[in-house]
Structure 1
Amino acid sequence: MTACSPSGGDGSDLQEVRVSEVIRSIFYAPQYVAIEKGYFKEEGLNVLLDTAWGGDKAMTRLLADQTDVALIGAETTVYVQQQGAADPVVNFAQVTQRDGSFVIARNKIDNWDWSMLKGKSLIGSRKGSMPEMVSEYVQKQNGLQPFTDVNIIQNISFDNQATAFASGTGDFLQAFEPSGAILEKAGQGHVVASFGEDSGKLPYTVFMAKASTIKSEPETFQKFTNAVQKAQNFVHSSTPEEVAKVILPYFEGVDPEIVAAVVKRYQESDGWAKDPVIDQEEFDNMKKIMKDAGELKADVKYEDLVNTTFAEKAQAN
Structure 2
Amino acid sequence: MAAAMGGRRRLIIYEPFRSIFYAPQFVALHGGDFAAEALDVEVVTASAGVTTTAALMDGHSEIALGGIMRSLDVADRGGPSLVHFAEVNSRNGFFLLTRQPRPHFTWTDLVGTTVIDFAEAPTPWQCLLTVLRKHGVDPGSVRMERTQPLSDALAAFRAGHGDFLQTGQPFTEALIADGTAHLAASMGEATGPVPFSSYMTTQRFLRDGRDVLLRFTRALYAAQRRMARAEAKEIADVIAPAFADIAPDIRQRAVARYLAQHTWARDPVIRRDGYDYLRRILLDGGFITRPHRYEDLIDTTIATQVMGRS
- TM-score strictly above 0.5: yes
* Runs of 4+ displaced beyond 6 Å: none
Q: Which of residues 22, 37, 45 in structure 1 aligns to 2:39?
A: 45
Q: Which of residues 134, 137, 142 in structure 2 aligns to 1:141?
A: 134
The within-5 A match list for 1:132-211 is 132-146=125-139, 148-211=140-203
1:299: how far off? 1.7
Q: How big is each residue's C-alpha offset from its partner over 1:183-241, in whole Å with a ceiling of 9 and x where there is no partner?
A: 11221112221112122222100000111111111010000000110111121111000
- What 5-or-longer segments of structure 2 have no aligned partner? 1-5
Query: Is the 1:22–1:54 contact (alpha carbons within 8 Å) kept by the matching residues of 2?
Result: no
Q: Determine the structure 2 residue equivalent to 1:281.
A: 273
> Aligned pair in 2 of structure 1 residues 65, 302: CA closer, same or farther (>3 Å)?
same
Say which SS state the counterpart of residue 212 (structure 1) adopts: helix
How far apart, CA to CA, are the structure 1 residues paired with 2:261 and 2:204? 36
Residue type of the alignment partner of 2:195: P
1:127: how far off? 9.0
TM-score (norm 1): 0.92
Residue type of the alignment partner of 2:169: E
Bigger mean CA deviation after superposition, 207-216 or 188-197: 188-197
1:88: how far off? 1.3
Say which SS state the counterpart of residue 95 (structure 1) adopts: strand
How far apart, CA to CA, are the structure 1 residues paired with 2:176 and 2:209? 45
Residue 64 (str. 1) matches residue 58 (str. 2): yes
- Aligned identity (percent) is 31
1:107: how far off? 2.3
> What CA RMSD, in Å, does the superposition of the two structures yield over aligned residues?
1.8
TM-score (norm 2): 0.94
Residue type of the alignment partner of 1:81: A
Query: Is the 1:128–1:295 contact (alpha carbons within 8 Å) kept by the matching residues of 2?
Result: no
- Count of equivalent residues: 304
1:109: how far off? 2.2
- What 5-or-longer segments of structure 1 have no aligned partner? 1-11
The within-5 A match list for 1:189-268 is 189-268=181-260
Q: How big is each residue's C-alpha offset from its partner over 1:105-143, in whole Å with a ceiling of 9 and x where there is no partner?
A: 112222221111111100113497111110111111111
Q: How big is each residue's C-alpha offset from its partner over 1:162-199, in whole Å with a ceiling of 9 and x where there is no partner?
A: 22211222110000010010111221112221112122
Residue 111 (str. 1) matches residue 111 (str. 2): no
How far apart, CA to CA, are the structure 2 residues paired with 1:163 and 1:243? 29
Bigger mean CA deviation after superposition, 109-118 or 149-158: 109-118
1:279: how far off? 0.4
Query: Is the 2:120–2:149 contact (alpha carbons within 8 Å) kept by the matching residues of 1?
Result: no
Structure of higher RCO (CA pairs closer than 8 Å, 6+ residues apart): 2
